[in-house]
Homo-oligomer: A and B are copies of this chain.
């Protein structure tokens, strides 16, 4: 890494070293080894893809501390609640979201292999990392993958002011040929809550359209916004399409929470409250490309499509046009080559946590 800021603010580790450390920490707090390795794989994938917010930075606060405090089961009783040749519903038993979600998505993929298309849902679960990880599991099977999850309530509906909706991400993964796959993975709020916190620390004004205050007025004040709510993609009101982002957010809560028989709407946890067990639900889907066309033809045309966008004329001041998943793919290659950057604050936190758990802090450094 030649970026001097990175050199001072970040430590570099390897994918294997990072995964080994995460798995060992989770096993230490009672997670079964196979489950711990799934969580390690999902978190490392996030850091590899440059999505620092959803990677190892959350190991302690989202996962380890909740297991240690008894809010989340280390060894949950995962049960199949409904299963058909094209669907599966799992109860996560208030365990970690990642292992049960990988199991659900792999079951969906197996069913889609047999039947062409399948869907699944998980209830009574917890945070599962990046949605894109699960959607991308479909890629190597020449399928289109879908993944979604509801979350803690951070956002208000259009015309509303109550905290009713999570950041509720949706992810779609579509295979290509020589080009990296199209991977769209986005929160249905305009920005994540973490962005408000960053702006508060930097004492910077927010963009209009990001948030409202506790009274429901649009605000550019980070402290006021943190007492209020995030706005859906499209911003305040309906003039810039806020009702579309709100509609997508509610869609996610329905296909995750209502469809799985899990918690939804007002039952979802609120921020800055003690963690509530098993209130999060997930949704998964997969279908075969060859139900529509020969895979080789499809992949050839996907390459043409993605290249058409990537080579299209860029706006003044922009370097070029990207397609969804491209930047994350490039970062993955760079981080595999040069090391995965972990912010110094996160790194120090990991070292502290390892000490508290009585583990050697032997996370590999490049």
Contacts and interface: CB of A to CB of B under 8 A. Distances in A.
A338 B291 CA distance: 46
A234 interface: yes
A324 B162 contact: no
Contacts of A116: 84-87, 115, 118
B293 A82 contact: yes
B289 A259 contact: yes
A89 interface: yes
Given A164-B309, A235-B240, A293 B159 contact: no
Contact of A162 (B160, B172, B312): B312
Query: How many copies of this chain are found per oligomer?
Result: 2
A321 B264 contact: no
A287 B86 contact: yes
Interface string A194-219: 00000000000001011010011100
Given A250-B182, A302-B254, A119 B313 contact: no
Contacts of A85: 115-116
A209 B161 contact: no
Interface string A214-247: 0111000000000000000111000111011111
Contacts of A17: none
17 contacts: A86-B117, A87-B291, A144-B259, A159-B318, A160-B309, A160-B312, A160-B314, A164-B312, A184-B251, A190-B240, A207-B240, A250-B324, A258-B305, A259-B292, A260-B293, A264-B305, A265-B309
